[in-house]
Chain A
Amino acid sequence: MYVAVKGGEQAIARSLEHLAEARRGDTAVPELTLKQIREQLRLGVARVMQEGSLYDEELASLAIRQAAGDMLEAIFLLRAYRTTLPRFGYTLPLDTSAMRVRRRVSGTFKDIPGGQVLGPTYDYTQRLLDFGATPPAAAVLADAPLASPMPRVLDLLDAEALIERIEPGSDPEPVDLTREPLMFPADRATRLQNLARGDEGFLLGMAYSTQRGYAESHPFAGEIRMGEVDVVVCPEELGFAIEIGSITLTECQMINQFHGGNGLPPQFTRGYGLCMGEGERKAMSMALVDRALRCDELAEPNYAPAQNQEFVLSHSDSVEASGFVQHLKLPHYVDFQAELSLLRTLAAQHAADSDEPLLSAVGGQQS
């Protein structure tokens, strides 16, 4: 009887079989192909690539299938694979101003050079369930191609010196958070790296809190753009830059009010969000949280959770959070035994002190 309390190899082996069976479901239904996932669940693929920190649509599709659609599990799978990959080089900084834009909207100006471009968005779908098969659809081509490069909305304000200027190349050399531990206080580049890997739901909630009075920063969506950006590397042995491909990105630049402080004049400030694939909700959330985390730099009162970098950065990662929350299902009976023992002592003391009979339900006769 006692032996049954403890698990073992066999139990794990059987569990893996159950899992494989459950994952596959009814074998009369064809298995999803990676191509189907990649083509028809592209937003899920984008999230897994983004939070998995690995731009590979095929591997992300594989992870989603293997995880039976559990995005956090898929992200974990991709991260565990990524950790084994060697670093053979780094790209040059991506130039999002040269993005081949498919979507670009601004909440700050009615019309902007290059225009408002909705692109493929769920924003105006009315969310009515489409019963029946989705008919094949082809978009009607626009009369004229989009401006290329598409001018950036924030550069227009920049010309008027109304928005803080961030000089190109002024960023410190970034650390790689997957190779170096996160240390506090973390600089902005490190914070952004952490947020980029952070859980979308966590960032969404944090961003939302800043809109409801916990670090109000009066944001405007200066520009959101989505499209393809070339990836360029400059191998040492070549000595010149070469393009190795292009990736889809979503970028959000928030414009936030700032009344001046820390020697800075009143001006608009920036919050920044960037995301692999189509990930507008994530990019916008990231931008709001990024701006909130700049409170010390801008001498703003620091009181809200979203402004507390130890709070935000230490709890943003879904793989860390999911692992630690769920580790509670591991055996803790040694510690629990220690607590039982302590609690019985305390309860006995309490009973002796208050002359109340000890509830017999507690049981045990341990000292």
Chain B
Amino acid sequence: MKLVLNFTPVWAELELILDGIMLTIGLSAAAIVLGSALAVLLVGLKSLAPRWVGLLVDAYVELMRNTPFLIQLFMIFFGLPLLGLKMSGATAGLLAMTMNLGAYATEIIRAGVDATHKSQIEAGLSLALTRLQVFRYVVLNPAFAKVWPALSSQFVLMMLASSICSFISVSELSGAAAIIESRTFRSFETYIVVTLVYLALALALKSSLLLLGKRLFPNASGLERLDVKAGSV
């Protein structure tokens, strides 16, 4: 058997690929921002709200982390319209990604919050700050700095998982690939191109997040040393 690769038909659909890339980037960026915001809200509720609210947060996180993303996507896309909430595939995809990422990020950020030395919180409270102010200004930033690498990986995983949105006919990169494949019958060539694009996107996202982390947490390396000091006395 001889393998013959012919990329010409695939290149002819370049526009479709570019649109797919843009949608993948757009969905991922929006899900990262909204999912992180949701996670901060949930971690805040868990830290500050009454216990029963914390238990609800736990239940939500467990539900999202222990069911397949595809099923979550179907529940939103096919289930919500039955409740009178109609939405486009892209909106449903974004909602599913936000809810899914929000749950995973909640677990990650909570680990950072839990790692905060009790003395930091006492220092904040002693300066007459409210518990919310302590969370917002004292706890949150170092917590993010501590878990930034783990959070970054989760963002990249979510970007890759956005391909699942093609199941509800969202023509992001994977959706675009499916269309090109059916038009050209050049499956291998199509997915070689798409694989390389995903790889490039993932690496680009990873390094952007690394740079962003250095900007957001310029003193992150100092945090660990300070913790060690605080813990040793």
- A and B associate in one complex: no
